[in-house]
Every structure is written in structure tokens, then in C-alpha cells.
Structure 1
Amino acid sequence: MSAVTATLPRIWPSPGGKPLPPTGMAEVFRAFARDLAAGRRAWDAGTARFIAGQFDELAAEWDTSRATGRDDPLRDALDRGGPFPDGTCLELGSGTGLFTPLLDSAFEWVISVDLAEQMLRQAVGRSPLRVRADASALPAADAQVAVIAAIDMLLFPAEIARVLAPDGVLLWINQLGEDGPQYWPADDVAAALPGQWHAVEAQAGWGGWAVLRRRV
């Protein structure tokens, strides 16, 4: 339940024109995400259907009207957050696959996982391996996943801890940093995960990243 976090200096500048979420929306969703991760709010079939339906409706226009168009935090994390273990990377909340090719260049196997079927359909051509699944109950064996990449994703602490190998890594990306609806600083992510974790984090572009490993 505790963390040791190292913060690296920024090397990717923050460009102008940062797209900000609607007033109040980010705060509401951050509160929902934190309550969910802490067990103060249940994740049930009805909630999953609602979230999937929302993203299914957005899938066709996601790349043109919703995506930031920037991958600075992920690139910086892959450059400076390693070394990473060999093996399978699960990309949770993979959406339309905008970041899958970059992950594919870094890891041996990348499996794109999303709750929204239409998002996965839009990812054809970017994500060769796609699975429609709920991140609260991943179709993966215990302690078999090398890397989990969570880009602007809800946090399911127990499930992440279950599937990650002992030397596995959580790659946590916030594209819009503190302004984004999924923003968590590394210390808070580590505190939510079972056990003890070490984190490296940095800001990059509009957002930031953290790489978390179990402490041994």
C-alpha cells in the first residue's frame, strides 16, 4: 500500500492548444474512477453496459473529434521508463488503436482490450490482436502478463495485480495530465494497488506518465 516515486525532468515541452474537457466533466469522472478503484463504488454489469454504450456511440468520430492526436507521454515513457520485461503487453482501454502501433514497436506481443465493440471495430488495421473484455475480469491467467498499458483508463487494482507477473510493469498514461478525466499521480495509483510499488513518473507534452513495478 506504499510507494517510492522518482520524478524525472520534463524533456517533451507542452505545446499550445491543449484540448480541455467540458467544465466539471473531468472532476466528476475522476471522482467516479477513484471511488471505483477504492471499492467505494461497485462495478457491475449495468455500469459496464452503460460505459460500453457511451464509447460505442463515440467510436466512429473518435479519431477526428475526441482524440488528442498526440503520443508524447507514451513515447517518453517507452524511452525513459524501462527496462521493460519480455512478454505480452495488454493494452487496456485500447479504443480505436491509435497507440497500438507504438506499443507494438516496443513489445513482443500486444493484445488490445476494450469493453466497446465498436471501438475495436475501428481499430482494424492498427490492432492485429483485439479482445472485447471487461478490465475488471481480464481473460488472462494469474501472474502471466509482462506489461499492462493503461492509457486514460479506469483503474482496477486487484485485477492488475492478479495478472501481472512478479516482475511485471504497469504503464500508466494520462494524455491531458491534471486536466484529464483519468488523471492520477503515480503515488495515488501505487497506493491503490495491493502490495508495495515503486514508480517512475514524468510530464511530457500535454500529459504525463508513470511506470510502476512491485518493490522487492
Structure 2
Amino acid sequence: MTATLPRVLPSPDGKPVPPPGTAEAFRAFARDLAAGRRQWTAETAQFITAQFDQFAAHWDTTRATGRDDPVRDALARGGPMPQGPCLELGSGTGLFTPILTGAFPRVVSVDLSMRMLQQANGRSPWRVRADASGLPLATASVAVIAAIDMLLFPAEIARVLAPGGVLLWINQLGYDGPLYLPVSTVDAALPGTWQATESEAGWGSWAVLRRTR
């Protein structure tokens, strides 16, 4: 079941929409990966790592949108958040980590790219280089998973998230984003039963998916 909230934060002018063909190719990959129609391989992980290592030094000024409206709106209106550790997947240079650390007692930032994690020094106090398809975390060990412009690895998210835990699914550019997945697709891919709340904010969109069973 999904509840859709009305927008309260407007979309500013100047949205940095990526090239349609490139964005759709990435969205197709994200959909297929989430649905299990495509496998995540070591070669794919190496390719993604190399790309983001290359982008890291200039990410904040040339690649990142820098818009935090969807994250802030999700935390404000997505319902009560469990007060346990938060796992930030695909944390990059830590642009959004300070917002999460203001909401949760501990945030662990995970990324494939070591250079991205190095750029996050001063923003992310707990940084781990890891592949989100096989996290070095115990089962049911985190209360919240924040996935901001991230590929979806449903089985691993369900494994590490505690009963009653929450997934924050954020797309900074909404349906224009290269890794956008609608909440219905995310819900269908996740094992178990979930309740979702979603809305749009700024340039992007957010969903809070709460594990019920």
C-alpha cells in the first residue's frame, strides 16, 4: 500500500536534466537489476568503480546536483523514523551525510569508490568501501537504509534491515534521473511486505518504505 503526499516544496527552474538516451539506458539497467533480469557482476562493479573514481575530485562542482529537498522532505514528512543506525548506500562525496547525521544517532556511509569516500572526509565520520550487493554487515543490523540516486539490491537491503526498518529511496531528479525507479517497482522487488509513503520535492522525488513483515 502506498500513500502519496502532496508536494510542498516547489521545483525550481534550471533542472539539470541529463541527455534522454543516456538516462534511459541507465534506467533500463536499474529496472532489470532490481527485477533480477540482469546480474551484478564483478566486471560491472569494476567499471562503475573506475567511473566514479575518475569523477570524484570534481564531483561536487561538475556532476552532483546538490539539491537536498527530497531528503529533507522525506525525513520531515515520511512518518516516524526508527532511532537506530542508518546505512547510507552510494554515499559518494558525502553531500547528504550531514543531513542524515542530524536525524540518526549513527550513519555509516558505504560506496564502491574509494576516491569518493576520500572526498567525503569531514562529512562522513564512518566510511566503508563495500559493494552494496554484498554488504559487510550483520543481518537485521540497521534501522534505516538511505539510498540516494542508487541502484537497488533488494535481497541485500531486506537482509541487513531490521524488522520495522525503513528504506529511504531518493531520486534527486525524480523521473528524469538516470537511476529513477518508481516506488511500485521498488516495492515489488523487495522481499516481504512494505508500506510506502511518497512525494515530490524540489527537482526530485522520495519514498519511505517501511517494512511490516
Q: Flag whether TM exceeds 0.5 (same fold).
A: yes
Across the two proteins, how many residue pairs are aligned to each other?
213
Trace 1:78-89 onto structure 2 (pairs within 5 A).
78-89=75-86
Q: TM-score, normalised by structure 2?
A: 0.98
Q: Which residue of 2 aligns with 1:186?
A: 183
Which residue, out of 59, 64, 76, partners 1:62? Answer: 59
User: Structure 2: which amino acid aligns with 1:194?
Assistant: P
Residue 114 of structure 1 is matched in structure 2 by 111
CA RMSD, Structure 1 to Structure 2 (Å): 0.8
Conservation of the 8 A alpha-carbon contact between 2:183 and 2:207: yes
- Displaced runs of 4 or more, over 2 A: none
Do structure 1's residue 24 and structure 2's residue 21 form an aligned pair?
yes
How far 1:215 moved relative to its partner?
A: 2.8
State how 1:53-202 maps to structure 2 within 5 Å: 53-202=50-199
> In structure 1, which of residues 21, 33, 38 is the aligned counterpart of residue 30 of structure 2?
33
Work out the CA distance in 1 between the residues paired with 2:144 and 2:66. Answer: 23
Q: Deviations over 1:15-38 (max 9, x none)?
A: 000001123111000111111111
Tell me which residue corresponds to 1:51.
Answer: 48
Alpha-carbon distance between aligned partners in 1 of 2:116 and 2:30, rounded to the nearest angstrom:
21
Aligned counterparts of 1:184 and 1:40: Cα–Cα separation in 2: 15
Can you give the 5+ residue segments of structure 2 that lack an aligned partner in the other structure? none
**Alignment partners' CA distance in 1, 2:74 and 2:134:** 26
Give me the whole-angstrom Cα distance separating, in 2, the residues matched to 1:23 and 1:12: 25
User: Is contact 2:167-2:210 (8 Å) kept?
Assistant: yes
